[in-house]
Structure 1
Amino acid sequence: MKKLGILLLALSFLVACQVEAPQPEAPPADEPDEVTITIEDYYPFLENTYLTYEGIGMEFAERETYFDFIRNRRAQVRNHSTGTTVVQILEYQDGTLKLLFSRGEVYNLSDYTNANFAKEGEILLMEPIEVGTNWQLPDGRRREITGINVAIETPSGNYEALEVTTEGNEETQTKTYYVEGLGMVLSIFQTQEDEVITTLENIQEDTDVTYVLRCYYPDFENEQLVYKDFDIPFQTNDEIRPTYIEHLQRAPNGSILPVFTENITLQSFSYNPEEELVVVDLSDNFVTEMNLGAGYESLAIQSIVNTVGFNFSVEKVVITLDGSLYESGHFQLQEGEYFQVHYENVVPLD
């Protein structure tokens, strides 16, 4: 009996030890990684997307926007308004979104994305994306992120937006609102007396646009140039070089010769914003293949110069042959020289 009591006591001690023994702590649950919002979220470059904005308070406040080219971290965007069409080059750069280039009166098929822009550009957005981030613009204005998840209403829908406020030098203020995955949806420009609003009205995805390509051709018989406009369907990132080649190699009718033959090709365009000119590079067989006399060569060169100059909205064009300045038995470009666009003695082709 005594032995049984001792055994029961021992068993009760073991059970007590098991119950009271500390349990190993469960490993902490993994916390979800914090999502970092970037400029590319609030201002994406949208491919094949046509954005229509309603304008209030000013005739030119309404606009239509399309991204022509998206290359690496740079984009060419075209804004069509009642008064003009403006081409802009935007770039994601070191935690900022910069406006590097802006040019009005650009209506035709052209590409400025490969240019080297010496100026710093205007910062549209800056990281970190948080209230209080601020910066000064080259003209003295100040820009600041003043709100996140701000509720706004537009004809295209209601959104929660990033609010950026720009304080002007003459008691002006602009509030711009950006939405993740969409970009700018609302802009309100205010003075003491007026208010101008640009607000997103419609989003059309998977669509193209139409740009005009004007080509000039030699009319050797009448010692003049003729031109013809072509409507070119265009989608984001379509290469323009093959389109130029196709139309310059093809005569518009039986009485007009093409600018160059099928054995000659246009190799590249390069826009120089400092000199306000375009360098167009042709294959080095241009002179030998065309076998031109001085008169026809002059008309052919002027056709190329006018075609490139008109569509890129410049007055100066440099022609190179496989990278070397143009040289033939009749014409030779020296370093720093260029061909001038001329519209005298030019008529539309019926």
Structure 2
Amino acid sequence: MKKKVTWFLLLSTSLVLGSCSWFNNAADVYDESEVSSTNHASSSVDASASQSSSQAESEASSGMSESSVSEEVSALGVIDYFPMREGYQAVFAGDGNEFAGFTRTYDFIRDDFLTMRTATGGTTTLEVVAITPDRAEVLVTKPETYSHEELTYDMITQTGEPVKTLIEGPIEVGHTWDSDGRQREITGIDVPVETTTGSYEALEVTEYGEDSERREYYAPDVGLVYVADESTDPDATYLVTQILAQLSFEGWGETITFYYPNGENRFEQVTDTIQMTTNDKMALKFTQLFQGGNSADQQLMGKSVEINTIDVNSQNPGQGKTVNIDFNEHIRKLADDPQGKAKLDAIMASIQQYYNADEIRPTIEGEYMVIDGLVTLTAEKPLYLVPEDVYPY
């Protein structure tokens, strides 16, 4: 029913995209063309070719050139280098690791909190970043989160997770801070970065690991544009780069698997792509889908039926993740439909699958779901059990 990803794959992916808490992929590596230091205010990034003397860098798709002098103090702040822009979708091309490339979307922007998803070839991870004038820090990381879902304030602020500080002020060369046990440092300002999306004057942040270094480049009004990760162990060298290849502020396509009954005791499925943008509500999107706005031209709910809200609890998939869905009273009209139970099963299956949830808890105007002849849920049995035969594959 749900997408399954091995924890080994999740771990390796989480090491590759891991700076911006944007996942530490064990294979993410630093470009060996040069190592930034406090003696070099900046480096010039050339995305078209690596100018390193090392063999690893010469094979990379992007790299670092000779150091150049830059300003040591920026007139810009953290928010300028990590802007919360609606409709954001970025595609990063990766080199040096199978899962280095990724796509990122900004799903929700609420006050100082940015909810973003990063999808590699192996998994998708949700992160919540708190962005203030002084710092940008990752408060929440949720693996295997493929859906457009918003966490509550308590779920964000009461996780107890280690905080990963991506950027910290003051924005000046040599400023250092601790981020979840690793030291990070501003090593360059106004560093030239060339990508297929344009030329940028970027902030360079270096993270020092025990046997590795990672450099991240943030451009004003854009955010992350380039990452280079490299080993500092001469006996175990590696290099992984990630460079901005596509950038849009017009939203993105969200993939949803839609189930529907097709004859007695038979179900079919189609995969539709719906247009999404920052702060969109999935309750409305699913309402439109079930009312007939799908490629199968199947209507599971009448036009008067609406989904009021959809939310999830704080658990991860496989650990009790529950999706809560509340309908208006017109959902009870399914009791008069000869295929009412099958349609209700298909609705629940579609939502549970999209959220990669272990359980689904439906209500009607906040009360336990009771539909004559179809389902009766109670305080003792509040969960809807989706029959296995709904999933045709």
If the TM-score is normalised by the length of the shorter chain, which range does it land in? 0.7 to 0.9
Question: Are 1:52 and 1:200, in contact at CA under 8 Å, matched by a contact in 2?
Answer: yes
The number of equivalent residue pairs is: 304
Identity of matched residues, %: 18
Matched, 1:201 2:242: no
Q: Which amino acid aligns with 1:146?
A: I
Counterparts in 2 of 1:90-109, with a 5 A limit?
Answer: 90-92=129-131, 95-99=134-138, 100-104=140-144, 106=146
Question: Are 2:313 and 2:322, in contact at CA under 8 Å, matched by a contact in 1?
Answer: yes
Gaps of 5+ in 2: 1-72
1:67 corresponds, among 95, 106, 121, to: 106
Aligned match of 2:276: 234
Q: Which amino acid aligns with 1:282?
A: F
Partner SS for 1:262: coil
**Structure ranking higher on relative contact order (CA contacts 8 Å, 6+ apart):** 2
* Rounded Cα–Cα distance in structure 2 between residues aligned with 1:341 and 1:166: 47
Alpha-carbon spacing, 1:143–1:159, altered in 2? closer, same or farther (3 Å) = farther
Matched, 1:144 2:144: no
* Rounded Cα–Cα distance in structure 1 between residues aligned with 2:186 and 2:365: 52
Partner SS for 1:291: helix
Report deviation, 1:282. 0.7
1:324 corresponds, among 367, 371, 392, to: 367
Report deviation, 1:270. 0.8
Q: Which amino acid aligns with 2:177?
A: N
Matched, 1:77 2:109: no
Aligned match of 2:202: 161
Quick check: 306-315 or 159-168, which moved more?
159-168
Report deviation, 1:334. 2.0
Gaps of 5+ in 1: 1-33
Q: Which amino acid aligns with 1:264?
A: V
Aligned match of 1:214: 257
Partner SS for 1:347: coil
Partner SS for 1:61: coil
Report deviation, 1:231. 2.3
Aligned match of 2:289: 247
Partner SS for 1:186: strand
Question: Are 1:276 and 1:316, in contact at CA under 8 Å, matched by a contact in 2?
Answer: yes
Report deviation, 1:154. 3.0
Report the TM-score when normalising by structure 2.
Answer: 0.66
Question: Are 2:135 and 2:169, in contact at CA under 8 Å, matched by a contact in 1?
Answer: yes
Partner SS for 2:376: coil
Question: Are 2:78 and 2:167, in contact at CA under 8 Å, matched by a contact in 1?
Answer: yes
> What RMSD, in angstroms, separates the aligned Cα atoms of the two structures?
3.4
Counterparts in 2 of 1:1-350, with a 5 A limit?
Answer: 37-92=76-131, 95-99=134-138, 100-104=140-144, 106=146, 110-114=148-152, 116-117=155-156, 118-119=158-159, 120=161, 121-130=163-172, 131-137=174-180, 141-149=181-189, 151-156=191-196, 157-168=198-209, 170-191=210-231, 192=233, 193-203=237-247, 205-219=248-262, 221-250=263-292, 258-274=299-315, 275-287=320-332, 289-291=333-335, 298-328=341-371, 330-334=375-379, 337-341=382-386, 343-347=388-392
Highest CA radius of gyration, 1 or 2?
1
- After superposition, the C-alpha distances for 1:5-25 in whole angstroms (9 at most, x for unaligned) are xxxxxxxxxxxxxxxxxxxxx
Report deviation, 1:133. 3.7
Partner SS for 1:46: coil
Question: Are 1:175 and 1:188, in contact at CA under 8 Å, matched by a contact in 2?
Answer: yes
* Rounded Cα–Cα distance in structure 2 between residues aligned with 1:85 and 1:142: 24
Question: Are 1:76 and 1:89, in contact at CA under 8 Å, matched by a contact in 2?
Answer: yes
Report deviation, 1:281. 0.8
Alpha-carbon spacing, 1:104–1:236, altered in 2? closer, same or farther (3 Å) = same
* Rounded Cα–Cα distance in structure 1 between residues aligned with 2:243 and 2:74: 29
Question: Are 1:136 and 1:142, in contact at CA under 8 Å, matched by a contact in 2?
Answer: yes
Report deviation, 1:320. 1.4
